[in-house]
Structure 1
């Protein structure tokens, strides 16, 4: 973790300079389940052909585009990096899952499908919002965490994670058939159990985040917890211990498990 909330500039393994990280944004979409002890989260499984986190189950998200920053400026936000990332999280959710969150306006399935098709065709979100009379409710996104790897992977992302509640159980999530080949709703513990059984693959940051999210019985609990743990940059470190080499994250920032043996780690550090 860096004190100035910026990514590391030196590779933790090789000591060589790190490439400039790509800004990215990820959205943890909650759907509370009445009568159950844990909410469902929306997960997408990435295509095995992807260069980054191939075949892994992750939260919806992707890189922040220049148009996202431009949209944030147009909306009058001073912290363009923060609100550009929130806009990207909403956009990526529509593109990858067909679910529109933190959007006010006509959200009929037909309209969302039109927006999704337009995004895939290259139309920017600000134009779509203007055409459809949509207003983004960016304050509904709760900052959760921020991760950047200390290793020079094929893709190095500086990823901001947000949480949002979406209790429209009739809204159908569907794969985009480009980056992702499957998606599913599950509790955080359910995803961990699937990974333990070998039914899905999860990378190190996703596993740590799922363990943290598995502590909560509702979206409100998770949001309250996040308010008690301000976002800091998580950049894992390598520690040699008596039982071998471990990949570790800092204590005291909300994670119940903060290390894992390196030989068990699934690499790839974006979502």
Structure 2
């Protein structure tokens, strides 16, 4: 990759069918899953990408993936008052989380481990989430995913793949255990945002630009309810990073009114996909 097309692969949204929309980018979704702790900051589910992946190989990411045709089909049935593209993105986040981590988020009823495993296996075999819900007589609640951010880089080259990725936050379901899928990810762990940043600063993990910026924003809040109130207070706008020279050094920059405590980073330290 060139030095400037790294942004295309940094949106925690990979795998599956992706519609190539030349101007709009490929729709994708990712979800920050949190579980509160009584005496410490909330933990977030992080994944280590397999080294064989085309984008963000070996990087720590949130679960997520591209929006596919099945997500749009299901959205047409259950969107309620949501715009169809928004509903499809939330469905994709739920589907990808189940497939990648084995966590069934946003389901309206508690699920036994064996049923979750069966649904995950069906997804891996190519079944759509809509068919799986119908087969098991289950429903999902799209309002349990709270919009947090949206990242959409500018297309810098004709051949560059660009993702228009919605980020959500959600509470971890009680009584469920996450596990690797052994294909896209090789390790899962729970850690506070600050702990994950410190881990990477020690050289014990890698994160790319949007992941770092989002972790810095998440680290400002210790509990899910506080983070949710913050997310609701800031309208979601597309974040499109740009290059700018500051103090004689090129930086990658983002807007300063969207809740991010750090809004630029020298290009010399930016992790490329």
TM-score, with normalisation over the residues of structure 1? Answer: 0.89
Q: Match of 2:19?
A: none
CA contact (8 A) 1:106 1:134 kept: no
The answer to whether structure 1 residue 182 and structure 2 residue 193 are counterparts is no
Query: 44, 47, 50: which is aligned to 2:50?
Result: 47
Output aligned runs, 1:141-160, within 5 Å.
141-150=145-154, 151-152=156-157, 155-160=161-166
Query: 70, 74, 82: which is aligned to 2:73?
Result: 70
Distance in 2 separating the partners of 1:256 and 1:28: 18
Output aligned runs, 1:1-271, within 5 Å.
20-36=24-40, 38-77=41-80, 79-150=83-154, 151-152=156-157, 155-166=161-172, 168=174, 170-268=175-273
For residues 56-104 of structure 1, the C-alpha deviation after alignment (integer angstroms, 9 at most, x for no partner) is 1000000000110110101254511000000000000000000011002
CA contact (8 A) 2:79 2:87 kept: no
Distance in 1 separating the partners of 2:54 and 2:24: 17
Secondary structure at the counterpart of residue 128 of structure 1: helix
1:154 deviation in Å? 5.3
Distance in 1 separating the partners of 2:228 and 2:211: 18
Gaps of 5+ in 1: 1-10
Gaps of 5+ in 2: 8-21
Distance in 1 separating the partners of 2:185 and 2:171: 22
CA contact (8 A) 1:140 1:164 kept: yes
Q: Match of 2:16?
A: none
Aligned length: 252
- 167 and 68 in structure 1: CA distance in 2 versus 1, 3 angstrom threshold: closer
Distance in 2 separating the partners of 1:172 and 1:104: 18
- 167 and 99 in structure 1: CA distance in 2 versus 1, 3 angstrom threshold: closer
Secondary structure at the counterpart of residue 62 of structure 1: strand
For residues 104-136 of structure 1, the C-alpha deviation after alignment (integer angstroms, 9 at most, x for no partner) is 235111000000000000110011111111110
- 76 and 233 in structure 1: CA distance in 2 versus 1, 3 angstrom threshold: closer
Distance in 2 separating the partners of 1:32 and 1:167: 11
CA RMSD of aligned residues (A): 1.8
1:242 deviation in Å? 1.7
